[in-house]
Amino acid sequence: MREIYFITGNKGKLLEAEKKLSDLDVRIIQKNIGYPEIQADTLEEVAEFGVQYLVDKVKDTFILEDAGLFIDALKGFPGVYSAYVYKTIGFNGILKLMEGIRDRGAVFRSVYAYKEPDSPALFFIGECRGAIATKNRGSNGFGFDPIFIPSGSTRTFAEMSTEEKNSFSHRGKALEKLYDFLENRIKLA
């Protein structure tokens, strides 16, 4: 069985990855060592910096994930600053910023970085369009899940099971690409 370290302190992200990759002959092991999230224009830049920071600290195969909520009416805010914005003003702060705004369109983006020793990092990107709810709903998930309604649904991510959320979500789509890569990698091994 192949072991892959997931560099995250977020149990919700870990659970999503474990469920999505459970059919493969891999074991996901959480490693909560953290890495600096630089101020950058794209999630890919943040993930690449994270990989470079960790490459000397983690000698085994690892993944990390960075995601952001990009709100149309707020010109993409909070975007790459989503974790900081969540920690400082939370989803209630975003709802306050959105008061009176009719255009509630938004997109969640995710990038998974996959790094094997002595190989360049690979990046798997997922995206989910949707809208910002007018109030928080649901108790599942984490982060901005209670205020994000994916296109094709009337419920927020926080009103869905992990499996259902993975079928819609940006992270689920990025994980699907990582799954396909790992499945092929295992077949070739």
Burial of 151 (C-beta count, 10 Å sphere; 0-12/13-18/19+)? exposed
The CA radius of gyration of the chain, in Å to the nearest whole number, is 17
Q: Give the separation between CA 148 and CA 134, rounded to whole angstroms.
A: 10
- AA letter at 58: V
Of 111, 85, 87, nearest in space to 97 by CA: 85
Please confirm, yes or no, whether 56 is among the known catalytic residues: no
Q: Where are the beta strands (DSSP E) in 33-132?
A: 62-71, 78-79, 105-115, 122-132
Of 13, 19, 56, nearest in space to 32 by CA: 13
Token pair recorded at residue 16: 């999503």
Which alpha helices (H) appear in 8-88, and where do they start and end? 11-20, 43-54, 82-88
- The SS3 assignment for 71 reads strand
Token pair recorded at residue 56: 């000397």
Which is the catalytic residue, given 66, 72, 103, 118?
66
Q: Which residues are catalytic?
A: 66
